[in-house]
A and B are shown apart, each in its own frame.
Chain A
Amino acid sequence: MKILVVDDYSTMRRIIKNLLTQIGYADVDEAEDGSTALKKLRSANYGLVISDWNMEPMTGYDLLKEVRADEKLRTTPFILVTAESKTENVVAAKKAGVDNYIVKPFNAATLQQKINSVLPGHA
């Protein structure tokens, strides 16, 4: 299963990719903003999107709304990994259809737990 990691910081993409590899997900692709991610999602099949929120020109939140509005992508599991930790952010993301929400900084166990919750068959 292919996973798309979306973050404008290469450091974060590298960390998440490393953690995913450790927990058994070796097929990981990267995008540095929402619009690049959307193009990739529309051109290939991904089993999970792990995205940052605060990016330009398209944020992770906007990417989530685009994914949920797209007939072909709407069921793709989506996890937001972000420093935005206000209740209103979490509520907005939940309303937009996010499957889970991880606040930075996080640890490997949290990432694995959230992935397991959205991909129960792959645990």
Chain B
Amino acid sequence: MMTEARFVASASYYEELEAAVLQTPRGRWFLREFAARNRQADTLVTLKSIDRLLHAVKHEASLGPVEILRRELHEMSHAIAQTRREIAAIKPSDPSHNRIMAATEELDAIVTATERATGDILTAAERLQELAKTLREQGATERQCDEITALATNILVACSFQDLTGQRTTKVVNVLRYLEQRVNAMIDIWGVDGVTPIEDEKDINPDHQLLSGPAREGEGVSQEDIDRLLSSDGATSADGSEEKPEPIDQDAIDAMFA
């Protein structure tokens, strides 16, 4: 018997062998059966491959939107966390440090201070009108008296700016109050207790805490208090501790020098 290693196949040998097998009915049956079985095996392999491909395509297609949704949810979660941190930064740790309320009070203080200043200007203008009248009665020239009266009237009319600035400021105050309500509502909804707030940008001015603008009514110290502080030897606290940034009243100042 010929071994596998020594056998060399050729096209003529295949044809000779096929012709020999085809000569008998059993040989012909064998060849038909062999061909049928091999064809079925190839088809099954191909069908299995197609089925695997189809399954893979279907799986990818079904996975796409889910993956997108998962990514969207992740981004939403990140945005929610960021928003909570932003809101936590708005929420004052101490109610007395509510920035919106502080801004509202500052604007109210502007309206009050402007109203007071306008009242003073009006009083001065009215006094000028009275003086012009007195001068006229005392025989001063008509032209000069008319000019004083006209200028005083111009001052009076110019004071109507207070009404306009007051109305505009009131609008801003109302917007701030509205924002405060909305922010408080968001704080209640989001529950930011325990959330790490986003840090404010660092102020490059190291003396930032010293700058708080004009003091409101009842706050700060008077010029007399300042003069007294500056004319004495020590302007620091009696115990040498660091000064508190809050405005101090006269009693506190007196205690410092006791």
A-to-B contact residues, CB < 8 Å = 7, 9-12, 14-15, 18-19, 22, 54, 83, 104-108
Given A15-B159, A18-B126, A83-B164 contact (CB < 8 Å)? yes
Question: By the criterion CB–CB under 8 Å, are B167 and A83 in contact?
Answer: yes
User: 23 A–B contact pairs at CB < 8 A?
Assistant: A7-B163, A9-B166, A11-B119, A11-B122, A11-B159, A11-B160, A11-B163, A14-B122, A15-B122, A18-B156, A19-B153, A19-B156, A22-B129, A22-B153, A83-B167, A104-B160, A105-B158, A105-B160, A106-B157, A107-B154, A107-B157, A108-B153, A108-B157
- The B interface is mostly helix, strand or loop, or mixed, namely helix
* Residue with the greatest number of chain B CB neighbours at <10 A, chosen from A18, A54, A108: A18
Question: By the criterion CB–CB under 8 Å, are A104 and B157 in contact?
Answer: no
Question: Separation in Å of the A87 CB from the closest CB of chain B?
Answer: 19
B-to-A contact residues, CB < 8 Å = 115, 118-119, 122, 126, 129, 149, 153-154, 156-164, 166-167
Question: By the criterion CB–CB under 8 Å, are A54 and B156 in contact?
Answer: no
Question: By the criterion CB–CB under 8 Å, are B160 and A106 in contact?
Answer: yes
Given A18-B156, A19-B153, A106-B157, A11-B167 contact (CB < 8 Å)? no
Question: By the criterion CB–CB under 8 Å, are B115 and A15 in contact?
Answer: no
Question: By the criterion CB–CB under 8 Å, are B163 and A83 in contact?
Answer: yes
Q: How far is the CA of A7 from the CA of B163 in the complex (A)?
A: 10
Question: Separation in Å of the B227 CB from the closest CB of chain A?
Answer: 33
Residues on A with C-beta less than 8 A from B159 are 11, 15
Residues on B with C-beta less than 8 A from A108 are 153, 157
Residues on A with C-beta less than 8 A from B161 are 105
Residues on B with C-beta less than 8 A from A7 are 163
Residues on A with C-beta less than 8 A from B118 are 11
Question: By the criterion CB–CB under 8 Å, are B153 and A105 in contact?
Answer: no
Question: Separation in Å of the B98 CB from the closest CB of chain A?
Answer: 26
Residues on A with C-beta less than 8 A from B162 are 9, 11
Q: How far is the CA of A28 from the CA of B149 in the complex (A)?
A: 20
16 additional contacts (CB under 8 A) given A7-B163, A105-B164: A9-B162, A9-B163, A11-B115, A11-B118, A11-B162, A12-B160, A12-B163, A15-B157, A15-B159, A18-B153, A54-B167, A83-B164, A104-B160, A104-B164, A105-B158, A108-B157
Q: How far is the CA of A9 from the CA of B24 in the complex (A)?
A: 126
Question: Separation in Å of the A89 CB from the closest CB of chain B?
Answer: 14
Residues on A with C-beta less than 8 A from B154 are 107
CB closest residue in chain A, given B125: A18
Question: Separation in Å of the B145 CB from the closest CB of chain A?
Answer: 13
CB closest residue in chain B, given A21: B129
Q: How far is the CA of A12 from the CA of B126 in the complex (A)?
A: 14
CB closest residue in chain A, given B121: A11
Question: Separation in Å of the A59 CB from the closest CB of chain B?
Answer: 13
Residues on B with C-beta less than 8 A from A18 are 122, 126, 129, 153, 156
